[in-house]
Amino acid sequence: MAERQNELAEQITWNEFARWRQTPEGVAFLAWREPAFALAQTLRDRDSHWLQGWARAIGQAQAEIPNDEKQRLMRRPASLRQSGLKVASIVSFAVAGLFMLGLLGQLFALSVTDSAPATGGFTYEECLATLDDPSNALLSEADCEAINPGPAGSNIPQAIPLTLFLGLGIALIVVRRKKQRAARQDQTAENESRARVERWRFDPLAVEPGYTGFTWYESPRTEGYADRLMQLALFDGHGRPPAQSDLIAVEMPIARAPHSTNPAELNQLLGEFGQKAQA
């Protein structure tokens, strides 16, 4: 049912469009549409050729740049960030934190042991006294150290790596900041970028895909002209019919003249556009 209604609505629209084409406004639109559509297609073709011309010019410029200059530009973001040293310092502090937790655990256990009341049994002091007994043949110094509740220096094995990793993390931070400062002070990449802009009027190593330094036409009003022509030329009865006053003037935009500072690929296109306009 819905499909039948849609078909009927389309038929009504088409019939109204056919009747409108017989009116003065419809006749004017049909006379305007063909050249407008052709011009819009020509302008879109020129935009496409212009984009391709810029891509060739950028590629040619990039090929002329020395590889070491390209490498310096590619490495600059990494030299400013120094991510490797940052990660290494974080890892060092994390490992130091683990040793710190272990050391705190030992100190906590020691404090609990020292505060607990004696409950009898063979104590560390009694073991040392037995060692001094000439008749002792069973106990050794290692046996006594095994029951030592707080041996002097028992925290040293934890404190040494803690200090080392903590110092390493701090040293890595210092080194990273020095390298970052040196990278910021190194103006080689900036100077080379300015030289590229001075030579080509754009930086071939810093442009985004689809970059065009300037348009092939002179008037800024030409921007979007092809789209406006095409949108109006494709009217098929849907929506409000265009009045004669709505019809856009069909005029080929004036192309820029070739210039000695332009890349050769672009001057070639500008020359072709100018010749076609005169033909």
Residues 127 and 146: their CA atoms lie apart, in Å, by: 10
| Residue 268, pLDDT score | 95
Q: Which residue do the tokens 């404190």 mark?
A: 159
Residues 76 and 68: their CA atoms lie apart, in Å, by: 12
| Residue 149, pLDDT score | 60
**Chain length of the chain:** 279
Q: Which residue do the tokens 């004036």 mark?
A: 254
82: left (phi over 0), alpha (psi -120 to 50) or beta: left
Cα–Cα nearest to 65, from 73, 53, 55:
73
Cβ–Cβ < 8 Å for 160, 91: no
Cβ–Cβ < 8 Å for 49, 269: yes
What is the tens place of the pLDDT at every residue in 4-47? Answer: 666 776 676 777 778 888 898 989 998 999 999 999 999 999 99
Cβ–Cβ < 8 Å for 54, 211: yes
| Residue 119, pLDDT score | 46
Q: Which residue do the tokens 């041996």 mark?
A: 151
Strand partners, 255: 217
| pLDDT tens, per residue, the chain with 279 residues | 667 666 776 676 777 778 888 898 989 998 999 999 999 999 999 999 999 999 999 999 999 999 999 999 999 989 999 999 999 999 999 999 888 888 787 776 666 555 544 445 566 677 777 777 777 767 677 766 666 665 544 556 667 888 899 999 999 999 999 999 998 998 999 999 999 999 999 999 999 999 999 999 999 999 999 999 999 988 877 778 888 888 999 999 999 999 999 999 999 999 999 887 665
| Residue 242, pLDDT score | 86
Cα–Cα nearest to 40, from 224, 167, 190, 240:
224
| Residue 136, pLDDT score | 72
- ∠ CA(99), CA(104), CA(110), 5° rounding? 130
- Distance of alpha carbon 277 from the chain centroid: 42
Cβ–Cβ < 8 Å for 225, 254: no
* Domain ranges (residues) in the chain: 28-65+204-278, 81-190
